[in-house]
A and B are shown apart, each in its own frame.
Chain A
């Protein structure tokens, strides 16, 4: 196999090209490219226009998040971890907090778990919208880009209302959530849920029967079930190959069994099948969200245990969201123990018993797993993230072999890699 050494800055062409066959050309779809979904570098060996071999080079966004979490306490880890797969921040936070909670041996209150499901499903819709927008743009359906981001603005509005930020929220904390849903969130979500189904119909009307879309996607990038399972591929790619594996149904980490929804499966295992699976998943997520807000339980959103729960109560004051004035009065004026307790929890953090856990959840791209190792202290010993995009990207060379150069764009788009997750 040629091209087995690949250098960073691309100075390897003379090395690589002397090893290839006579008729093939090695080209680079470099890290800066409008159609590679982020900083993914593809080294393609082509014969005319047909791909003979492909290799992906990753690491252009490596941030060292896993090592950074080892020097920060368990709650601060949420802020780091949320920035890995930046299109599905809630899924990252939820999986991490579930892992910490499993190590602590606690469960978040019911209301917190249900709100986590709601936010995870809304995040799934917004992630699939970005996928649809960028895939459409890369294959030439430019208006899809604008429609996708227009809808996404509505969801980001909801997120901003609830958590304060449009992206990278750090809202889910070990033990529950940081604050409860503010007034007006349910109405906003309901408004969104009422207007969105028409929009999905619009996108399907635009793309599903479109001859150009079908030509560019049907029969491209076939990934059959056996190869997929061997390569560890999960998520919409596996479901488009006919395997109905969805962690929302098989694992009980989040209370999905209360809600009625179908798993989107397709048989064709090509890019068009993945498109259909993701659109169907958006519809199913809408169903779940509607069931959640129709039946939202009351109660606290953070566990009562004072050793773990965040000490301050947050409230809306004259200058915005912050520590409630009554609480500040208590710790500064009245109770020394409360002040010491607040200080210790905020600066040092809580201790988590020693051990290791692995918590998987179903993120929009596949199985997102957190392998947390604790040594009994206030800082994690090791946080390893099993990111679905990293593993799914291994399937790219097989899917692309034999296709034309333009099909590489379609295949990488249907893989939906998010380089923040791949490189961590």
Chain B
């Protein structure tokens, strides 16, 4: 691990003992798990004291059936420094059933549209976000499309011999109709 990153993680553990975990290194990248409650504090400290001025990416992953329910949603913040080649990933786990997370908009305004995207696709509510509403799907859309229990959607595609093959996540089901609501066969 890069020496500077090691020192930064050590200082973070010192400053926020219960909030920040041991750094984990994999594939040449360093990640640190941060508890939900302390996220804004840790982020502010990293921005002000440790020169991570740029929030490169703030996104979510749905670990349905892979991780236990209290760690279903992983929100990963990728921090970067502007002049030095330092990158750090902050991992925040959000449980199923209580999908809320403190908002990083106060720390980096860049988080604004990304949190709306996470709300739209995963249903994670960000406390402190000024205007949390859907950004990509129409306002009246039901459901959160990128969750693992949301189907891919789409219609059955007509192949030869009169077969209608469903999209990849529904294969093995009815192959006789288009599957499109409101259409005749």
Contacts and interface: CB of A to CB of B under 8 A. Distances in A.
Direct touching of A and B (C-beta under 8 Å): yes
Interface of A: 4-5, 7-8, 58-59, 62, 64, 66-68, 71-72, 102-103, 105, 229-234, 243, 245, 250-251, 355-358, 360, 367, 369, 371, 373, 375, 381-382, 384, 386, 390-391, 393-394, 423-424
Contact of A381 (B61, B87, B111): B61
Contacts of A4: 131
Nearest to A225: B82
Given A232-B56, A394-B110, A71 B78 contact: no
Prevailing SS type, chain A contact patch: mixed
B146 interface: yes
A358 B54 contact: no
A384 B57 CA distance: 9
Interface string B8-37: 000000000000000000111101000000
A5 B131 CA distance: 9
Contacts of B76: 356, 358, 371
Interface string B83-114: 10101010000000000000000001111111
A338 B166 CA distance: 30
B78 A371 contact: yes
A38 to B, nearest CB: 15
B26 A367 contact: no
Interface string B59-84: 10110001000000000101010110
A231 B56 CA distance: 10
Contacts of B85: 250-251
Contacts of B146: 66-67
13 contacts: A62-B137, A230-B109, A232-B54, A232-B55, A232-B56, A232-B108, A232-B109, A250-B85, A356-B26, A373-B61, A375-B66, A391-B113, A394-B113
A344 B113 CA distance: 41
Contacts of B134: 59
A59 B137 contact: yes
A358 B87 contact: yes
Contact of A369 (B78, B113, B145, B152): B78
A243 B78 contact: no
Question: Number of contact residues on B: which range applies?
Answer: 35 or more
B169 interface: yes
A369 B53 CA distance: 17
Given A64-B145, A369-B78, A382-B61, A390 B113 contact: yes
A231 B107 CA distance: 10
Pick the 10 closest A-B CB pairs, nearest first: A232-B110, A59-B136, A386-B57, A71-B168, A62-B136, A384-B59, A382-B61, A250-B85, A8-B138, A357-B27
Contacts of B80: 360
Given A8-B138, A67-B146, A229-B53, A386 B59 contact: yes
A71 B113 contact: no
A414 B11 CA distance: 41
Interface centre among B27, B55, B111, B139 (most CB of A within 10 A): B27
B69 to A, nearest CB: 17
B179 interface: no
Contacts of A360: 56, 80
Contacts of B113: 390-391, 393-394
B123 interface: no
Contacts of B153: 64
Contacts of A232: 54-56, 108-111
Interface in B118-158: 131, 133-139, 145-146, 152-153
B43 to A, nearest CB: 13
A6 to B, nearest CB: 8
Contacts of A5: 133
In this complex, which of A62, A243, A245, A358 has the most chain B Cβ atoms within 10 angstroms of its Cβ?
A358
Given A64-B152, A384-B59, 8 more contacts: A59-B134, A59-B135, A59-B137, A67-B145, A71-B169, A232-B110, A382-B61, A393-B113
Among A230, A233, A234, residue most surrounded by chain B Cβ atoms (within 10 Å): A230
B61 A384 contact: yes
A7 B78 contact: no
A231 B109 contact: yes
Contacts of B112: 394
B54 A229 contact: yes
B152 A243 contact: no
